[in-house]
Amino acid sequence: MRPVFDRLYSLSAFLGALTLGLICLVISAQVFLNVVDKLALFFTGEAIGLTIPSYSTFSGLFLASGTFLALGYTFRHGAHIRVSLLLQHLPSRHRRIADTLSLVMALVVVAVMTISLGFITWEAWFYGDTTSDIIAVPIWIPQAFMTFGSAIFFLAILDRLLNPSNEIES
């Protein structure tokens, strides 16, 4: 099962990185269009008015999606902030108890988050909610990526909780 989980975490991380690349592409394209517009204004005295419609909305949706998609992978590889300063000073028995309790609490919080995200995603799809910008994007699409990322995060925490010998990779 380990290779399946690792591939799932890697897929989620890849999709998260892809969304960050898309943010870079959209913003860079808009900056390029702004430069062209300023040059046109400088040389002709009149701006062309080049813009990517809803570019800031797209960037925000990509950011939300990418953030959630990366959660499981970063947890698996120990990149989340942990309270290791406190844990390292506890005896090993107490350290295991504290680590287990924190994993259980995280699992509950992430379970509630995943269920809530799933519900609002379904609701957005059911009611046909869209962004209120020049280009109306169905809001369930980025929410589905957020739900997927949250579910992968839940799986990573559960994986760690059920396999304590499966240490976090650094």
Query: What are 92-146's pLDDT values in tens digits?
Result: 888 888 888 989 999 999 999 999 999 999 999 999 999 999 999 999 999 999 9
Q: Which residues pair with 138 in a beta bridge?
A: 130
Instruction: Of 55, 3, 6, give the one whose Cα is nearest residue 156.
Output: 6
CA angle 30, 31, 32 (to 5 degrees): 90
Query: What are the pLDDT digits (tens) for 151-165?
Result: 999 999 999 999 876
Whole-angstrom distance, CA of residue 87 vs CA of residue 99: 8
pTM of structure:
0.87
Question: What is the C-alpha separation between 151 and 114, in angstroms, rounded?
Answer: 6
Q: How many residues does the chain have?
A: 170
